[in-house]
């Protein structure tokens, strides 16, 4: 019986080669693309889930009141909060603190900058169930000069985990010797807590304070310096815990009042996709692509359903004869489902061939550069669910429709039930193009916003600016370094600043001015060289900049946002006090973007320094045609002073682009999948156009005999489909506007969602539909009517 089903199904598919080919190609594209999308979604959702007890681990975040209506949420907390939570609340099983840093690691002549390094305490091993391959938890962080290496780090520095324990590594620019006390198993790759080196928190405690007037690490409630994790007992009320911790903070810090500092417990598995205040962040993009994956699969399935139900007219007599000679409806269902399974197997094989071809493109535009493990259980589950969903959606309904025909009706000459059911096919075509137009509009809007970001005047010139981190040795010879760099022909100007211009994250409320009423007003401070505003081509709204003389130390520069915060009508000449140091406002700089365009411009204050003893960055403006020479000159000069620390540099414009890397990747993915959606929609439209032309062959022949032109017949066939695309546009436009309006709310500075975007999307989709359908319409119209009117 099964052999008969398969043989009959195979013959039917060969009899309709165009239909079969379109069905296989459409399903294969849908299967491969949606599987890649679902894999990417699953990959994001897997972050921080591999840890045992992950469901009970929370990071403490601090929400700080900056002014009356402005709050910032930080992922760092004061050090004492961890011990306080563990000591005070029965629901807290364990607490751990760590301070993450970059660390220069030296071994012989090799010097490497390690990024995943943290000072922490022994409870880290228990909190995250980190397995030690060599050494013990009791000894691992027992001394301030101990270091614990991951398996990979041990192999990198010593060749084997067997040879590492007891050996010495030199860490930091001070060339301090550290003894390898233990080797730990590599932490999960998809984790925001992944570390390759662990050092004792006692080193931070030793250098922190407590020897004079400054507080010890366990007494300081004002310095938000540590990442704190708590492991809670199941059922613990996290909101109540956060409220009680907030009250304790206010009690221990005499400078804040209730509401100034509140704590938030953020689940470990929400660290990557949610902001510190628990508002959605990356999860919105994940949801977007989950929806897009479903839409693309639906479009492919709709193609098959449309083609299957359209062919029902040709299969009606076959169904009638089978029912007349005794075939049951169940047998017919099995027959038609068997046909789909053959198509699905072919599509699955083609999709399997497409996946390796599409994967590099997907990895490039999504940023997921690691290899996809096709035999991983989660990947197999994804493929299985996609396959099952496709089989159910694409096979059951067409099979049900075809098997439901009444043999008394279908054997009549005028039977045309499938044609009369054309409303369903039209509805599905409208649905397909609604999805496609939606993706096209979203792509255009996202691209327009990114272009706006790239071309917006930030208040300074970021082009060809090279940033080089300052270290102790270079800082001690800063004037010589600046002089030699300025004298090089490849460099236009050189300056320095204590921080990163694109992300002035630090702020202080230790500032006073005449008439100050808001004690929570915060301002972002930065120390700069006298020529910094000139080198960065900043403009002044009032006053002037520093002159380079020692008198600069008695002056401050502020931006327009700071002047508004202070409510000063004539800021220049006003005496203010920053960190207890009095000075006069000498100039007001026009507002410049000192953070992402998703944030408001922050009030900023500049003070002048003659030399850099604090680190920071050199800002080197290279000549456009000589950037490589400028880099080479800077590197040569740096290595002549410090040949240990690896030379590092960044371009300011590249860092600016990196702030919007996720948005850029989103735009690329939308472009790619909008193209896939429109391709699948047009493929289905082509199949329906072929069917329509075949069904109306005699009608076209009669019209030609009566004098109809090729153009009029082509228009007759095309207008039905173009009308459906117009309706799809009218449905997609308001939906796309709403979605993009919500997305744009993330940006404080944004472009408009212009009306012409919708017109462009409509015109493009309509043009593609006309081209797709016209090819078959013209082909049908030029057929000799003598052939069309022959008796079958």
SS3 assignment, position 171: strand
pLDDT-above-70 percentage for the chain? 80
How confident is the model over 17-59, as pLDDT tens digits? Answer: 777 787 788 888 888 888 888 888 888 888 898 888 889 999 9
- Tokens 């306080």 appear where? 84
Tell which of 626, 658, 690 closes a domain. 658
Looking at the structure, tell me whether residues 626 and 690 fall in a common domain. no
Residue 276 maps to a domain: no
Lowest-confidence range among 462-466, 486-490, 497-501?
497-501
Looking at the structure, tell me whether residues 185 and 229 fall in a common domain. yes
CB of 183 within 8 A of CB of 151?
yes
pTM reported for the whole predicted model: 0.76
Looking at the structure, tell me whether residues 493 and 629 fall in a common domain. yes
Residue 144 maps to a domain: yes
- Helices (H), ranges, 50-121: 80-88
SS3 assignment, position 66: coil
CB of 681 within 8 A of CB of 299?
yes
Residue 275 maps to a domain: no
SS3 assignment, position 563: helix
Looking at the structure, tell me whether residues 473 and 572 fall in a common domain. yes
Looking at the structure, tell me whether residues 735 and 649 fall in a common domain. no
- Closest-CA residue to 347 (of 31, 684, 9): 31
Residue 126: pLDDT band (50, 70, 90) is very high
Looking at the structure, tell me whether residues 348 and 290 fall in a common domain. yes
| Structural domain containing residue 35 | 1-47+281-420
Does the pLDDT at position 152 exceed 90? Answer: yes
The one-character DSSP state at 185 is P
Tell me how crowded residue 451 is: count the other CB atoms within 10 A of its CB: 12
- Tokens 């290279």 appear where? 622
SS3 assignment, position 267: strand
Looking at the structure, tell me whether residues 534 and 402 fall in a common domain. no
CB of 39 within 8 A of CB of 372?
yes
Q: In whole numbers, what is the pLDDT of the chain averaged over residues?
A: 81
Looking at the structure, tell me whether residues 532 and 633 fall in a common domain. yes
Looking at the structure, tell me whether residues 633 and 748 fall in a common domain. no
- In this prediction, residue 735 carries a pLDDT of 92
Residue 92 maps to a domain: yes
Q: Which residues contact 199 (CB under 8 A, 6 or more apart)?
A: 117, 118, 119, 120, 141, 146, 147, 148, 171, 178
- In this prediction, residue 572 carries a pLDDT of 92
Phi and psi torsions of 602, nearest 5°:
-90, 145
Q: How far apart are CA 284 and CA 503, in angstroms?
A: 23
Looking at the structure, tell me whether residues 673 and 643 fall in a common domain. no
**How many domains does the chain divide into?**
4
Looking at the structure, tell me whether residues 70 and 126 fall in a common domain. yes
Residue 566 maps to a domain: yes
Looking at the structure, tell me whether residues 652 and 684 fall in a common domain. no
User: Which tokens sit at 497?
Assistant: 């600043």
How confident is the model over 49-79, as pLDDT tens digits? Answer: 888 888 999 999 988 876 666 677 888 888 8
């Amino acid at each position: 019986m099964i052999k008969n089903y398969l043989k009959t199904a195979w013959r039917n598919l060969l009899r309709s080669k165009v239909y079969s080919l379109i069905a296989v190609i459409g399903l294969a594209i849908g299967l491969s693309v949606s599987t890649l999308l679902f894999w990417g979604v699953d990959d994001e959702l897997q972050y921080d889930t591999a840890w045992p007890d992950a469901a009970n681990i929370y990071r403490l975040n601090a929400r700080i009141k900056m002014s009356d209506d402005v709050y910032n949420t930080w992922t760092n907390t004061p050090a004492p909060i961890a011990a306080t939570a563990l000591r005070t609340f029965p629901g807290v099983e364990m607490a751990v603190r760590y301070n993450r840093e970059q660390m220069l690691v030296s071994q012989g002549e090799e010097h490497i900058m390690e990024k995943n390094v943290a000072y922490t305490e022994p409870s880290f091993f228990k909190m995250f169930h980190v397995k030690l391959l060599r050494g013990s938890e009791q000894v691992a962080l027992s001394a301030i000069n101990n270091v614990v290496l991951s398996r990979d780090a041990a192999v990198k520095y010593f060749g084997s985990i067997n040879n590492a324990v007891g050996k010495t590594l030199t860490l930091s620019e001070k060339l301090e010797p550290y003894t390898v006390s233990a080797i730990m198993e590599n932490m999960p790759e998809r984790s925001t807590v992944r570390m390759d080196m662990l050092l004792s928190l006692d080193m931070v405690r030793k250098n922190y304070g407590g020897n004079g007037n400054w507080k010890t690490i366990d007494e300081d409630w004002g310095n938000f310096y540590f990442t704190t994790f708590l492991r809670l007992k199941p059922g613990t009320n996290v909101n109540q815990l956060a409220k009680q911790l907030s009250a304790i903070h206010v009690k221990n810090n005499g400078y804040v009042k209730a509401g100034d500092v509140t704590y938030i417990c953020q689940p470990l598995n929400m660290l990557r996709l949610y902001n510190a205040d628990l508002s959605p962040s990356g999860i919105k993009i994940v949801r977007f692509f989950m929806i897009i994956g479903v839409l693309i699969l639906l479009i492919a399935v709709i193609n098959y359903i449309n083609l299957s139900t359209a062919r029902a007219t040709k299969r009606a007599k076959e169904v009638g004869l089978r029912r007349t000679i005794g075939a049951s409806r169940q047998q017919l269902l099995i027959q038609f489902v068997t046909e789909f399974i053959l198509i699905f197997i072919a599509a699955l094989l083609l999709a399997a061939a497409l996946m390796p071809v599409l994967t590099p493109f997907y990895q490039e535009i999504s940023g997921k550069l690691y290899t996809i493990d096709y035999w991983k259980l989660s990947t197999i589950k994804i493929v299985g669910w996609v396959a099952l969903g496709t089989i159910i959606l694409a096979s059951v309904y067409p099979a049900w429709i075809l098997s439901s025909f009444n043999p008394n009706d279908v054997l009549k000459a005028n039977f045309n039930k499938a044609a009369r059911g054309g409303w369903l096919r039209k509805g599905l075509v409208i649905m397909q193009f609604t999805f496609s137009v939606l993706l096209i509009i979203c792509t255009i809007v996202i691209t327009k916003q990114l272009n706006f970001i790239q071309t917006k005047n930030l208040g300074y010139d970021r082009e060809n600016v090279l940033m080089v981190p300052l270290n102790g040795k270079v800082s001690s010879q800063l004037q010589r370094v600046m002089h030699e760099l300025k004298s090089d022909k490849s460099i236009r100007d050189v300056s320095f600043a204590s921080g990163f211009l694109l992300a002035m994250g630090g702020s202080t409320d230790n500032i006073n001015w005449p008439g100050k009423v808001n004690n929570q007003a915060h301002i972002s401070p930065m120390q700069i060289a006298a020529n910094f505003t000139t080198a960065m081509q900043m403009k002044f709204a009032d006053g002037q900049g520093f002159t380079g003389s020692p008198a600069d130390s008695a002056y401050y520069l502020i931006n327009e946002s700071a002047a508004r915060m202070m409510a000063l009508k004539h800021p220049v000449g006003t005496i203010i006090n920053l960190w207890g140091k009095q000075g006069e406002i000498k100039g007001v700089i026009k507002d410049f973007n000192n953070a992402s365009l998703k944030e408001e411009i922050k009030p900023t204050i500049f003070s002048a320094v003659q030399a850099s003893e604090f680190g920071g960055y050199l800002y080197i403006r290279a000549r456009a045609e000589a950037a490589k020479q400028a880099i080479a000159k800077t590197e040569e000069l740096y290595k002549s002073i410090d040949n240990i620390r690896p030379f590092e540099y960044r371009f300011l414009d590249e860092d600016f682009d990196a702030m919007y890397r996720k948005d850029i990747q989103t735009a690329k993915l939308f472009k790619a999948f909008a193209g896939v959606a429109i391709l699948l929609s047009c493929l289905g439209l082509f199949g329906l156009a072929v069917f329509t032309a075949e069904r109306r062959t005699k009608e076209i022949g009669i019209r030609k005999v009566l004098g109809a032109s090729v153009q009029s017949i082509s228009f007759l066939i095309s207008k039905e489909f173009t009308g459906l695309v117009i309706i799809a546009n009218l449905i997609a436009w308001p939906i796309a506007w709403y979605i993009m309006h919500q997305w744009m709310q993330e940006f404080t500075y944004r472009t408009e969602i212009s009306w012409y975007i919708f017109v462009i999307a409509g015109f493009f989709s309509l043009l593609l539909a006309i081209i797709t359908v016209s090819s078959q319409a013209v082909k049908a119209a030029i057929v000799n009517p003598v052939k069309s009117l022959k008796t079958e």
